[in-house]
Amino acid sequence: MAATQVLRSEWTKIRSVASTVWTLGLAVVVTIALGMLISILSKNDYDNLSREDKITFDPTYISFAGMSLGQLAMIVFGVLVVSNEYNTGMIRTSLAAVPQRGTFLFSKVAVAALLAFVVGIATSFVAFFLGQAMLGEYKAHLGDPGVLRAVIGGGLYMTLIAMFSMGVAAMLRSPMLSLGILMPFFFLISSILGNVSATKKIGRFLPDQAGSKIMQVKSPFDDDTPYGPWGGLGIMVAWTALALLGGYVLLKKRDA
């Protein structure tokens, strides 16, 4: 079984269902639109900021504000790519065609991740440029220190969040269960844990909090995060690898 055959097959699968277009489309639109909106609001509010806040004002990160919502569409994309196999019964047809379950799962993840990366990086650049345009005189430039890293990091962040969701969906199989856990976790629980001082030290090791560090150019004043931008991304990569490994182990031993 040549892996290239399976990759081509997975590409056909992913491009031939409507959910791919609308989940990725939604991720693009929401991330960019919300980023622009918050950039406008930030610009208008700039004069009211304290002196400290003006120093740590991070126009790059502000233009990525839409990702908090856009990532949810990326999660739906990741979940559906995998769980579509299960809730339709397609999994039995797929595994009869490709009995090497590792090849099957990782080809699927590779194709979906590549697509998520292309869409993610494009979204990230567009969100940055349009966000900066809205920020007017306070804008950052791509050549400024750390900015290019943050913009590329935005694309990586979206890719990793989709891959993490694929791993979770491979473990749980049901799309409802997967989304029911992932959506509230990333939209609510993670940010609550990260903002309550008692749980902050744990919260910042969660995949989204650690991963989003790469999109920051300037750190807040009281920042005592024990990792840098790439360290944070590394933590997110570790979470993603763990989720995919879990999905692989369960797929390997489970009856289809």
Partner 1 sequence: MIELEGLTKRYGEKVAVNNLTFTVHPGTVTGFLGPNGAGKSTTMRMMLGLDNPTAGDVRIDGKHYAQLKDPLKYIGALLDAKAMHGGRSAFNHLLCLAQSNGIPRARVHEVLDTVGLTAVARKKAKGFSLGMGQRLGIAGALLGDPEILMFDEPVNGLDPEGIHWIRNLMKSLAAQGRTVFVSSHLMSEMALTAEHLVVIGQGRLLADTSMSDFIRQNSRSYVRLRSPQRERLLDVLHEAGITAVEAGNGTLEVDGAGSEQLGELAAQHQLVLHELSPQQASLEEAFMQLTAESVEYHAHADHQPPTTADPGSAPPPGGTPPGQGWGATWQQPGKGN
- Which residues are near partner 1 by CB under 8 A? 1-2, 5-6, 8-10, 12-13, 16-19, 84-85, 88-100, 253, 255-256
* Closer residue to partner 1 in complex, CB, 89/184: 89
Q: How far is the CB of 143 from partner 1 (least distance, A)?
A: 44
Q: How far is the CB of 248 from partner 1 (least distance, A)?
A: 15
Q: How far is the CB of 88 from partner 1 (least distance, A)?
A: 5
* Closer residue to partner 1 in complex, CB, 20/159: 20
Question: How would you classify residue 69: left for phi > 0, otherwise alpha for psi between -120 and 50, otherwise beta?
Answer: alpha
Q: How far is the CB of 201 from partner 1 (least distance, A)?
A: 43
* Closer residue to partner 1 in complex, CB, 85/208: 85
* Closer residue to partner 1 in complex, CB, 87/199: 87
* Closer residue to partner 1 in complex, CB, 15/141: 15
Which pair of structure tokens corresponds to residue 83? 């769980």
* Closer residue to partner 1 in complex, CB, 4/50: 4
Which pair of structure tokens corresponds to residue 110? 């590779």
Q: How far is the CB of 252 from partner 1 (least distance, A)?
A: 10
Q: How far is the CB of 103 from partner 1 (least distance, A)?
A: 9
